[in-house]
């Protein structure tokens, strides 16, 4: 039975969410609270992300700076190597965009499957994301259904572990056994409130240390 770690990206592998950096640096303070509107059911998560990403700068230097400032776990590369050497599969799932995820992974030389919304930088339009209609995991709300990625791994008989930090991680995390859930921030608070079991983590590499112990 293969061991599979399915992991969120923003705020889980990185310290900061890409959209959050845009809010801090590029989005006018009087702009609508898009995620708030999403929580009230007034827009989909995908639409909220598309709004935030439309404020992304389009010059290479600013984009590079943003990518650096997401601060991926400093032990990410080493941890992925150890995980792979031990026969584990790692799958990244994100309701953000593969535009920056792929760039970050390429920069550090990590090659793993990523399920996220494709995107491209367009002058005056920022980071334009597209719905991944071709993906077997397509979902209207988030673009990619993390839940369906977890279900697919469970169906093929894998031992599935899940790591995340946000609200789109609740459903997929609930599909795996409590001892196979890793959570921080919003997801940890939520699971705690619901009296659901999970392992709390500070940095992504700690999860790998724990899994390979
Ligand atoms: Mg996240």
**pTM of the predicted model as reported, rounded to 2 decimal places:** 0.97
Report which DSSP code applies to 168: G
DSSP 3-state of 1: coil
Tokens coding 45? 């998560």
Report how far residue 46's alpha carbon sits from residue 23's, in angstroms, rounded to the nearest whole number.
16
Q: What is the pLDDT of residue 136?
A: 97
User: Which residue is associated with the tokens 């993390």?
Assistant: 146
Number of structural domains, the chain?
1
pLDDT (tens digit, 9 = 90+) per residue, 102-149?
A: 999 999 999 999 999 999 999 999 999 999 999 999 999 999 999 999
Q: How far is the CA of 17 from the centre of ligand 1 (A)?
A: 7
Q: How far is the CA of 91 from the centre of ligand 1 (A)?
A: 14
Beta pairing class for 138-139 and 143-144: antiparallel
Domain of residue 151, residue span: 3-211
Q: How far is the CA of 120 from the centre of ligand 1 (A)?
A: 21
- Cα-only R_g, the chain: 17
Tokens coding 5? 């770690």
Q: How far is the CA of 59 from the centre of ligand 1 (A)?
A: 25
126: left (phi over 0), alpha (psi -120 to 50) or beta: left
Q: How far is the CA of 184 from the centre of ligand 1 (A)?
A: 9
CATH number at residue 106: 3.40.50.1000
Crossing angle of helices 204-211 and 76-85, in 10° steps, is: 20
| pLDDT tens by residue, the chain, 213 residues | 889 999 999 999 999 999 999 999 999 999 999 999 999 999 999 999 999 999 999 999 999 999 999 999 999 999 999 999 999 999 999 999 999 999 999 999 999 999 999 999 999 999 999 999 999 999 999 999 999 999 999 999 999 999 999 999 999 999 999 999 999 999 999 999 999 999 999 999 999 999 999
Q: What is the pLDDT of residue 2?
A: 87
CA atoms within 13 A on the CB side of 76: 21
Tokens coding 120? 């491209």
Q: How far is the CA of 57 from the centre of ligand 1 (A)?
A: 21
């Amino acid at each position: 039975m293969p061991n599979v770690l399915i992991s969120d990206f923003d705020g889980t592998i990185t310290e900061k969410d890409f959209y959050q950096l845009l809010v801090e640096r590029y989005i006018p303070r009087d702009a609508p609270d898009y995620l708030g509107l999403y929580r009230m059911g007034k827009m989909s998560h995908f639409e909220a992300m598309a709004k935030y990403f439309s404020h992304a700068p389009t010059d290479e230097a600013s984009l590079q700076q943003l990518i650096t400032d997401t601060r991926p776990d400093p032990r990410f590369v080493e941890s992925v190597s150890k995980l792979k050497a031990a026969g584990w599969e790692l799958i990244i799932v994100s309701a953000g965009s593969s535009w920056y995820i792929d760039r970050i992974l390429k920069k550090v030389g990590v090659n793993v499957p990523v399920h996220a919304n494709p995107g491209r930088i367009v002058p005056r339009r920022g980071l334009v994301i597209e719905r991944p209609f071709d993906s077997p995991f397509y979902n209207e709300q988030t673009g990619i259904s993390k839940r369906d990625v977890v279900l697919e791994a469970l169906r093929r008989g894998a031992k599935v572990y899940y790591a995340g930090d946000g609200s789109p991680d609740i459903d997929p995390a609930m599909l795996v056994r409590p001892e196979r859930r890793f959570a921080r921030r919003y997801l940890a608070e939520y699971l705690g409130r619901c009296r659901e079991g999970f392992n709390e983590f500070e940095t992504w590499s700690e999860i790998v240390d724990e899994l390979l112990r």
